[in-house]
Structure 1
């Protein structure tokens, strides 16, 4: 990629991010649209977690990874500290893989 293309993409990204704060007071969305945007962000996050925890490349990841994500999710839901959530998820996945799952 040439330097000019990198600079154009950098300026475009900066302008796109700057547009949010600049247009916040000028653009008003109906309450239904705001609700749909909030819901769509949640759905997108769930889809990302599901895809990354269930698939490894083009194949299923096996049982250890989804169960580790489930344990981490339960720990986060119970408001455990972030470090503990990560350690529990990793330990669960590693333990299940050690057992052959």
Structure 2
């Protein structure tokens, strides 16, 4: 019976630790921004790395599902969304157009 009582306490403790850790990370960024400086080359590399990571995320989630090619409909939707985002369309329009493109293609039988 004591194991049943310990589980909620353990869960609440884990949630508290994660909450404090999340707050500490979020607070550390603005708090340390003025105290830590990076060389210009490191700043450029970090900016480039963030773009590369975002592009990798788009490619893997836009082209694959379960480790295999997702078909034509999803990449077509991602392409439409990417073009609209590049043309500075409102975010809601980008999302709706990308989803509609994929949905219409799937409705037409395109995998």
Q: Distance in 1 between matches of 2:83 and 2:24?
A: 39
Tell me the TM-score normalized by structure 2: 0.84
Matches within 5 A, 1:81-92: 81-92=90-101
Q: How many residues align?
A: 101
SS in 1 for 2:100: helix
CA root-mean-square deviation: 1.3
| TM-score (normalizing by structure 1) | 0.91
Q: Distance in 2 between matches of 1:81 and 1:25?
A: 33
Structure 1: 5+ residue stretches without partners: none
Once residues 85 and 5 of structure 1 are traced to their aligned partners in structure 2, the CA distance between those partners, rounded to angstroms, is: 38
Runs of 4+ in structure 1 displaced over 6 angstroms? none
- Whichever of the two has the greater Rg, that structure is 2
The answer on 1:29 being equivalent to 2:38 is yes
